[in-house]
Amino acid sequence: MTAMRDKSGRPVVVVTGMGVVTSLGTGKTDNWARLCAGESGIRTITRFPTEGLRTTMAGTVDFVPVEPFSSTDLSERLADIAAEEAVAQAEIGRAGDFPGPLFLAVAPVELEWPQRQELGHDIGPGIDIDYDQMLRVSGGGRYKQYHRRFLFGSVADHLAETFGTKGSPISLSTACASGTTAIQLGVEAIRRGEADAALCVATDGSVNPEALIRFSLLSALSTQNDPPHAAVRPFSKNRDGFVMAEGAGALVLESYEAATARGAKILGIVAGCGELADSFHRTRSSPDGKPIIGCVRNALADAGVTTEQIDYINAHGTGTPENDKMEYLGISSVFGERARQIPVSSNKSMVGHTLSAAGAVEAVFSLLTLERQRIPPTINYDVPDPAIPFDVVPNTARDARVTMVMSNSFGFGGQNASLILTREPV
Amino acid sequence: MAETASPSAPIETWITGIGLATSLGEGLDAHWEALSHQRINADEKSFAPYVVHPLAPVNFDAQIPKKGDQRQMEAWQRIGTYAAGLALDSAGVKGNTDILARMDMIVAAGGGERDLVVDSGILNAEAKGNSAPGYLNERLMSDLRPTLFLAQLSNLLAGNIAIVHGVTGSSRTFMGEEASGVDAVRIALARIAAGQSDIALVGAAHNGERRDLLLLYEFGGFNLKEKYAPVWAREHNSGFALGSGGAFLVIESRAHAEARGAKPFARLTNVVADHARRKRPSDITSTLESLWSRLGSHADGTAIITGATGAEPVTSEERAFLRAHPDIPVRAIGTLFGHTMEAQFPLGLAVAALSLSRGALFAPADTSGQEIDMTTPPDRIVVIGAGHWRGEGMALVEAIG
């Protein structure tokens, strides 16, 4: 019988359920088919007027109706869809009674423009609008629903009640590494023996005018609007930024022991997690790459494996000039010569950057890569960057023997987190 | 440190650093002095009719030496980065790169203040008929400061602490109002107690002097209006008065503290939390009761420090819980500091650890009779945090020696 504990004597953490929704579609089947076909979910934005914007495309999820639209409502719907798929696959607990805690990666929440405009309208004609006037009309219970909706904890609150998770649900943000952090928190809780199962969900429905403009003003977004599907160009010489996208990923984690005891199907193992913060700059990585290098090494050490055992890297690969360069520096520093041979692909070339959700979405895709023994490509790879000599699995999916995947996430605010995922316990 | 199998008994964890910057001042002596004299800094005028507890003057240069860094931050980030620096100083680890590079960091955070002038300008223009498609885009593109985004972003308080103080072992930001403050400490402690980490910086900051925040809570009718009153004396005018403040703690395993000769303020024995559905009356009371039993037995020498908000119905439900435990001296920090939201639970822990280290529970500042004197030094303090809308938490802090 395979050991229930890892080399460090900790409970082995397995995945027994997965769910995903992205701009490519709903569910693992659809997403996987389109990912391996090299399709892009990036399209011209129709949700709101794009006049005056430098970037007019995104990986929006328009097929999930939310009326009236708010990013928080969409985030909640996407989280629901992904979590439902994951919990159904795991066949764990009873409906509305998930036997473990919730860890939710979610974008920061605030009141949005439609609600602000509603208050402005409510103030009435001829009165100069300011926050004192908005405060004047906001009381009395008329807008009670906006308090519930725009609390930072509101999405987790909803999920905790819907799925019946146990204890205090944790909402977290580590920027673009959030999804990975949600998984890491679940892994740690199971390793501590606090829980036999955890529901880790990451969601983002952030494509609204102000969020897009904020990233645009930081010059982080691609402006290659036409055609939209060719906008995200990770590791290419002509890459010019990331493309905002929406989606959610969910994983049911369990201790190997608990999963085996109830006869659950094991989809994969979370063998290791690593993190390390960067203190160099608010949006840029330390030029020496040390925090990324340290993060990757921490993940390998946590799993108790060597670079030789990794046979695919699911890159952060945003397609910004800076990220891709630093990711190469980090990987090549740790992997040495192997950095040129090991396949490294970016799901974001197709689904865009799902921000808070990315770590979990990409963990699901990494586990599907292990299951199907097929590596999704990096599309739009027509002009290689000689400074980044990765095997990016250019443009076409590839069958390969994959036993161990590293999935990386790096974010604003010096956030670095990496996962090691396997088919079998290591 | 390399993480191994969880130890059979939890690893003893000490609070070895406290950083406080609030409406009552900055630093431990100033706070002890203010608490001992029932000093309260409530402002009924600046945000009238809303009552707030404004930040006392702070010399940010002392902890954030680069003006450029200060400019990149919103007020809540400055308050938090400042308080975090005080906590690192207090623990004696400031500038100790060996320790800071492996120090955990968990921050409970909301977000930063919006640019109110930009918002109002756009709404006024729209009211005057500027409603062409793309008008909002045009205004936001030209009016928003590019760096404002980062100054508002939740995880950038932690990011700024990493940049200014060099804490880089990990960086996690929890969100979700009061509960995020409970969970930040709960997870930081759980990691140390299980041997997943040796030392952590944990805390939160809040800027209560914000109209956009008042707006969010006004939707739900939670703001205290017109007149300040102690938390327990708000039956006829319920609500919380937002407070500004940052509260950070350094917690570490006893072995780690002893090895570097650090002196503890108190032992952080346990943190528990739950999420009552709050659908039926008394849901909160019974949840607090079950958290209380999970913390363990409570002998003589126990006091309670609560983050009770003054909002209803949660404050009344907490009072019902307290009535079931008469004779235990209680102090509501909301009376003294206002409601610092994400920071309220870390603030309660900081005040509890400070009281235990000074060998006294400060005198009540309450007029309702809920708070009674405690003439003997407290042996242990239970910190309570029940969120205004969701989330219940409790911690046990014990005197050492």
Regarding whether A76 and A126 lie in a shared domain, the answer is: no
Interface contact A153-B177, CB threshold 8 A: yes
Place A278 in a pLDDT band, splitting at 50, 70 and 90. Answer: very high
Residue A426's pLDDT is 87
Q: Using CB atoms and an 8 Å cut-off, which of residues 87-126 of chain B contact chain A?
A: 105, 109-111, 114, 116, 119-120, 123-124, 126
Interface contact A10-B3, CB threshold 8 A: yes
Query: Side chain identity at B343, as an amino acid letter?
Result: A
Q: Which of A274, A234, A235 is nearest to A406 (CA)?
A: A274
Locate A279 and state its tokens: 């203190």
- Return the SS3 of B375: coil
Give the minimum alpha-carbon distance from B355 to chain A in angstroms, rounded to a whole number: 28
Residue B235 CB partners (closer than 8 Å, separation 6+): none
- Asked if B90 and B84 count as a contact pair (C-beta separation under 8 A), the reply is no
Question: In degrees to the nearest 10, what's the CA dihedral of A9, A194, B10, A2?
Answer: -10
- Asked if A272 and B3 count as a contact pair (C-beta separation under 8 A), the reply is no
Regarding whether A210 and A157 lie in a shared domain, the answer is: yes
Residues A48, B135: Cα–Cα separation, whole Å:
11
Residue A3 belongs to a domain: no
Regarding whether A176 and A72 lie in a shared domain, the answer is: yes
Per-residue pLDDT tens digits for B321-352: 999 999 999 999 999 999 999 999 999 999 99
Regarding whether A119 and A95 lie in a shared domain, the answer is: no
* Residues of B in Cβ contact (< 8 Å) with A131: 116, 119-120, 211-212, 215
Regarding whether A178 and A127 lie in a shared domain, the answer is: no
- Asked if B52 and B251 count as a contact pair (C-beta separation under 8 A), the reply is no
Average pLDDT rounded to a whole number, residues A230-241? 98
Can you say whether residue A91 is alpha, beta or left, with left for phi > 0 and alpha for psi between -120 and 50 degrees? left
Q: How many CB pairs under 8 A join A and B?
A: 260
- Residue bearing tokens 């603030």: B347
Regarding whether A338 and A378 lie in a shared domain, the answer is: yes
Regarding whether A159 and A94 lie in a shared domain, the answer is: yes
Residue A235 belongs to a domain: yes
Q: Is the peptide bond before B49 cis (omega within 30 degrees of 0)?
A: yes
Place B298 in a pLDDT band, splitting at 50, 70 and 90. Answer: confident
Kindly identify which residue of chain B lies nearest to residue A161, measuring between CA atoms.
B277
Query: Domains in chain B and their CATH numbers?
Result: 13-115+147-259 (3.40.47.10), 267-398 (3.40.47.10)
Cite the active site residues of A.
176, 316, 353
Mean pLDDT of chain B: 96
Residue A247 belongs to a domain: yes
Give the minimum alpha-carbon distance from A91 to chain B in angstroms, rounded to a whole number: 24
- Residue bearing tokens 């990986």: A59
Residue B121's pLDDT is 97
Regarding whether A280 and A133 lie in a shared domain, the answer is: no
Average pLDDT rounded to a whole number, residues A240-251? 98
Residue A420 has pLDDT above 90, yes or no: yes
Q: In which domain, by residue range, is A130 found? A: 114-148
Mean pLDDT of chain A: 97
- Other beta carbons within 10 Å of A210: 17
Residue A347 CB partners (closer than 8 Å, separation 6+): A35, A314, A317, A361, A362, A365, A376
Chain A interface mutation, best of B215, B242, B279, B389, highest count of A Cβ atoms under 10 Å: B215
Q: A93, A127, A148 — which closes off a domain?
A: A148
Per-residue pLDDT tens digits for A44-62: 999 999 999 999 999 999 9
H/E run at residue A87: helix A71-90
Give the minimum alpha-carbon distance from A136 to chain B in angstroms, rounded to a whole number: 9
Residue B1's pLDDT is 47
Residues A114, A67: Cα–Cα separation, whole Å:
12
- Return the SS3 of B271: strand
Q: Is A172 on the interface with B (CB under 8 A)?
A: yes
From residue A399, alpha-carbon distances to A319, A369, A412, A420 in Å are: 24, 9, 34, 20
What per-residue string of b and e applies to A111-143 under the rule 16 or more CB within 10 Å gives b? Answer: bbbebbbebbeebeeeeebbbebbbebbbeeeb
pTM score = 0.98
Q: Which of B139, B82, B80, B151 is nearest to B114 (CA)?
A: B151
Average pLDDT rounded to a whole number, residues A227-236? 98
Residues B335, B49: Cα–Cα separation, whole Å:
18
Regarding whether A322 and A351 lie in a shared domain, the answer is: yes
Residue B5 has pLDDT above 90, yes or no: no
Place B133 in a pLDDT band, splitting at 50, 70 and 90. Answer: confident
CB-nearest to B5 from A10, A181, A301 is A10
Looking at B128-253, list the stretches that DSSP marks H as alpha helix, in order from N- to C-terminal side: 135-143, 148-152, 156-165, 177-193, 211-219
Residue B60 has what DSSP assignment? G
Residue B3's pLDDT is 64
Residues A250, A357: Cα–Cα separation, whole Å:
9
Q: Is A262 on the interface with B (CB under 8 A)?
A: no
Can you say whether residue A332 is alpha, beta or left, with left for phi > 0 and alpha for psi between -120 and 50 degrees? alpha
Kindly identify which residue of chain B lies nearest to residue A413, measuring between CA atoms.
B159
Give the minimum alpha-carbon distance from B53 to chain A in angstroms, rounded to a whole number: 18
Tell me the β-bridge partners of A176: A174
Residue A6 belongs to a domain: no
Residues A379, A394: Cα–Cα separation, whole Å:
6
Interface contact B170-A275, CB threshold 8 A: yes
Residue A1's pLDDT is 47
Residue A53 belongs to a domain: yes
Residue A88 belongs to a domain: yes
CB-nearest to A52 from B110, B138, B214 is B138
Q: Is A192 on the interface with B (CB under 8 A)?
A: yes
Interface contact B389-A116, CB threshold 8 A: no
Residues A176, A181: Cα–Cα separation, whole Å:
10
Chain A interface mutation, best of B107, B142, B171, highest count of A Cβ atoms under 10 Å: B171
Chain B interface mutation, best of A13, A279, A285, A295, highest count of B Cβ atoms under 10 Å: A279
Residue A232 CB partners (closer than 8 Å, separation 6+): A40, A42, A222, A239, A242, A243, A319, A346, A348, A349, A350, A352, A353, A379, A380
* Residues of B in Cβ contact (< 8 Å) with A106: 175
Kindly identify which residue of chain A lies nearest to residue B215, measuring between CA atoms.
A135
- Asked if A136 and A70 count as a contact pair (C-beta separation under 8 A), the reply is no
Residues B227, A338: Cα–Cα separation, whole Å:
68
**Taking the alpha carbons of B376, B269, B384, B247 in that order, is the dihedral positive or negative?**
positive
Interface contact A217-B146, CB threshold 8 A: yes
Residue A2 has pLDDT above 90, yes or no: no
Regarding whether A264 and A156 lie in a shared domain, the answer is: yes
Residues A365, A219: Cα–Cα separation, whole Å:
28
Give the minimum alpha-carbon distance from A376 to chain B in angstroms, rounded to a whole number: 30
Structural domains in chain A (count): 2
Q: Is A135 on the interface with B (CB under 8 A)?
A: yes
Interface contact B390-A174, CB threshold 8 A: no
CATH number (domain holding residue A268): 3.40.47.10
Q: Is B70 on the interface with A (CB under 8 A)?
A: no
Give the minimum alpha-carbon distance from B178 to chain A in angstroms, rounded to a whole number: 9
Residue B401's pLDDT is 80
Q: Is A281 on the interface with B (CB under 8 A)?
A: yes
Residue A306 belongs to a domain: yes
Residue B77 has what DSSP assignment? H
Pairing assessment for the beta strands A247-255 and A312-314 based on DSSP bridges: unpaired
Residues A34, A47: Cα–Cα separation, whole Å:
23
Out of A414-423, B61-70, B127-136, least confident range? B127-136
Interface contact A108-B153, CB threshold 8 A: yes
Interface contact B126-A117, CB threshold 8 A: yes
- Asked if A195 and A100 count as a contact pair (C-beta separation under 8 A), the reply is yes
Residue B257 CB partners (closer than 8 Å, separation 6+): B14, B16, B263, B264
Interface contact A135-B215, CB threshold 8 A: yes
Give the minimum alpha-carbon distance from A168 to chain B in angstroms, rounded to a whole number: 5
Global ipTM: 0.98
Q: Which of A145, A191, A273 is nearest to B221 (CA)?
A: A145
Interface contact A218-B146, CB threshold 8 A: yes
A53 CB-contact burial (10 Å; exposed 0-12 / middle 13-18 / buried 19+)? buried
Kindly identify which residue of chain B lies nearest to residue A134, measuring between CA atoms.
B215
Angle between helical axes of B116-127 and B211-219 (0-180°, round to 10): 70
How open is the CA angle B55-B60-B65, to the nearest 5 degrees?
165
Regarding whether A330 and A350 lie in a shared domain, the answer is: yes
Give the minimum alpha-carbon distance from B310 to chain A in angstroms, rounded to a whole number: 17
* Residues of A in Cβ contact (< 8 Å) with B392: 168
Regarding whether A258 and A384 lie in a shared domain, the answer is: yes
From residue A125, alpha-carbon distances to A205, A294, B124, B129 in Å are: 33, 58, 10, 11
Locate A2 and state its tokens: 């395979």
Residue A2 belongs to a domain: no
Locate B53 and state its tokens: 């507890």
Per-residue pLDDT tens digits for A127-165: 999 999 999 999 999 999 999 999 999 999 999 999 999
* Residues of A in Cβ contact (< 8 Å) with B186: 168
Chain B interface mutation, best of A55, A159, A170, highest count of B Cβ atoms under 10 Å: A170
Residues B189, B202: Cα–Cα separation, whole Å:
9
Place B4 in a pLDDT band, splitting at 50, 70 and 90. Answer: low
Residues B378, B391: Cα–Cα separation, whole Å:
27
Per-residue pLDDT tens digits for B261-297: 999 999 999 999 999 999 999 999 999 999 999 998 7
Q: Is B283 on the interface with A (CB under 8 A)?
A: no
Residue B95 has pLDDT above 90, yes or no: yes
Residue B2 has pLDDT above 60, yes or no: no
